[in-house]
């Protein structure tokens, strides 16, 4: 059978290509040039919109937070935000796109003199996350949340079996997340949860109750799967070695030289010696 042109067995792919009309809007050089120009304009325009729509202490827009610290930035577009006078954001926080921050059951309520939702310095909330604070929610400094994390101080109740769940008065309990925590993608922190310092929450975990310092929790409901013992270290032991920080003062060239040595692909200098790094030929100095 002839697969490149028509023959006794019928038309081939080449014949079909000839019969398909060309799209003159995309095939001509002028059209391709127009598309490139339009694409660049759209991307530059969107970058400008994102920059102009970002919320900072210097450019809060319509949002009037109780406090927004130096270097803190809410990316554009923002999610639902209300109760801002009772929301305090520390310094150098990073709030991703479409993040919801709410204080109170609904907009327009007087929640008193004290803040309801508090973020410490350096908190990161990933894209699409929600922090719903109908009563107090506190997130400690340097806590990192992945995308689509859900933190809430309110849960539906179903005490009355004859009343629709959504119409029953919800239960509210304060939430406290300690400093230095890492909360994985899609995790849910339920009302009354109290996470200690440097807690790791696995992706998709559903956390309630108290979690001690330096613990790793996973599952739904979440349970402790690893913890830190001052004498024994992590139990069960970590399966991978700890990463080695890069010393101060190390240059990119030195890092490349170390990588070559590790790969056994050491390049030679003009005098035949292996490349030397400042201070020592066998180690990187800070």
In this prediction, residue 26 carries a pLDDT of 54
Let me know whether 82 and 139 are in one domain: yes
What is the pTM for the complete model shown?
Answer: 0.74
Let me know whether 142 and 261 are in one domain: no
Residue 19 lies in a domain: no
Let me know whether 173 and 253 are in one domain: no
In this prediction, residue 273 carries a pLDDT of 47
- Total Cβ atoms within 10 A of residue 53: 15
Residue 167 lies in a domain: yes
Range of the domain at 283: 244-286
The structural domain count of the chain equals 2
Interatomic CA distance for residues 61 and 41, integer angstroms: 25
- Total Cβ atoms within 10 A of residue 68: 25
Let me know whether 77 and 132 are in one domain: yes
Let me know whether 133 and 164 are in one domain: yes
Let me know whether 212 and 248 are in one domain: no
Residue 276 lies in a domain: yes
> Each residue's pLDDT tens digit in the chain (286 positions)?
454 555 555 556 556 556 666 655 555 777 888 888 888 999 999 888 888 889 999 998 888 999 999 999 999 999 999 999 999 999 999 999 999 999 998 888 888 889 999 999 999 999 999 999 999 999 999 999 999 999 999 999 999 999 999 999 999 999 999 999 999 999 999 999 999 999 999 999 999 999 999 999 999 999 999 999 999 999 999 888 888 888 888 887 887 887 777 666 544 444 444 444 444 444 433 3
SS (H, E, C) the chain: CCCCCCECCECCHHHHHHHCCCCHHHHCHHHHHHHHHHHHHHHHHHHHHHHHHCECCCCCCCCCCCEECCCCEECCCCCCEECHHHEEECCCCEECCCCEEEECCCCCCCCCCCCCEEECCCCEECCCCEEEECCCEEECCCCEECCCCEEECEECCCCCCCCCHHHCCCEECCEEECCCCEECCCCEECCCCEECCCCEECCCCEECCEECCCEEEECCCCEEEEEEECCCEEECCCCCCCCCCCCCCCCHHHHHHHHHHHHCCCCCCCCCCCCCECCECCCCCC
Let me know whether 249 and 197 are in one domain: no
Residue 16 lies in a domain: no
Let me know whether 91 and 210 are in one domain: yes
Let me know whether 230 and 255 are in one domain: no
In this prediction, residue 21 carries a pLDDT of 62
Let me know whether 113 and 250 are in one domain: no
- Sheet hosting strand 81-82, strand order edge to edge: 81-82, 100-103, 130-133, 150-152, 188-189, 206-207
Residue 15 lies in a domain: no
Residue 93 lies in a domain: yes
Residue 13 lies in a domain: no
In this prediction, residue 125 carries a pLDDT of 98
Let me know whether 272 and 137 are in one domain: no
User: What CATH number is attached to the domain comprising 142?
Assistant: 2.160.10.10
Let me know whether 145 and 81 are in one domain: yes
Residue 33 lies in a domain: no
């Amino acid at each position: 059978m002839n697969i490149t042109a028509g023959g006794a067995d019928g038309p081939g792919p080449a014949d079909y290509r000839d019969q398909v009309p060309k799209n003159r809007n995309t095939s001509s050089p002028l059209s391709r040039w127009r598309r490139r120009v339009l694409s660049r304009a759209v991307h530059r325009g969107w970058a400008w919109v994102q920059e102009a729509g970002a919320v900072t202490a210097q450019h809060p827009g319509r949002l009037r937070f109780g406090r927004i610290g130096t270097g803190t930035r809410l990316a554009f577009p923002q999610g639902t935000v209300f109760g801002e006078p009772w929301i305090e954001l520390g310094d150098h926080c990073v709030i991703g796109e479409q993040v919801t921050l709410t204080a109170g059951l609904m907009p327009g309520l007087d929640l008193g003199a004290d803040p309801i939702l508090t973020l410490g310095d350096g908190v990161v909330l990933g894209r699409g996350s929600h922090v719903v604070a109908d009563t107090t929610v506190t997130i400690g400094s340097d806590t990192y949340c992945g995308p689509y994390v859900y933190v809430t101080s309110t849960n539906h109740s179903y005490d009355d079996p004859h009343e629709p769940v959504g119409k029953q008065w919800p239960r509210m309990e304060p939430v406290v997340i300690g400093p230095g925590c890492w909360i994985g993608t899609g995790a849910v922190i339920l009302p009354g949860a109290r996470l200690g310092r440097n807690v790791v929450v696995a992706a998709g975990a559903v956390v309630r109750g108290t979690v001690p310092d330096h613990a790793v929790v996973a599952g739904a409901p979440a349970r402790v799967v690893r913890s830190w013992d001052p004498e024994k270290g992590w139990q069960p032991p970590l399966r991978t070695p700890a990463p080695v920080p890069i010393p101060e003062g190390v240059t990119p060239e030195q890092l490349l030289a170390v990588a070559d040595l590790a790969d056994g692909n050491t390049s030679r200098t003009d005098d035949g010696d292996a490349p030397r790094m400042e201070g020592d030929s066998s180690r990187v100095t800070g």
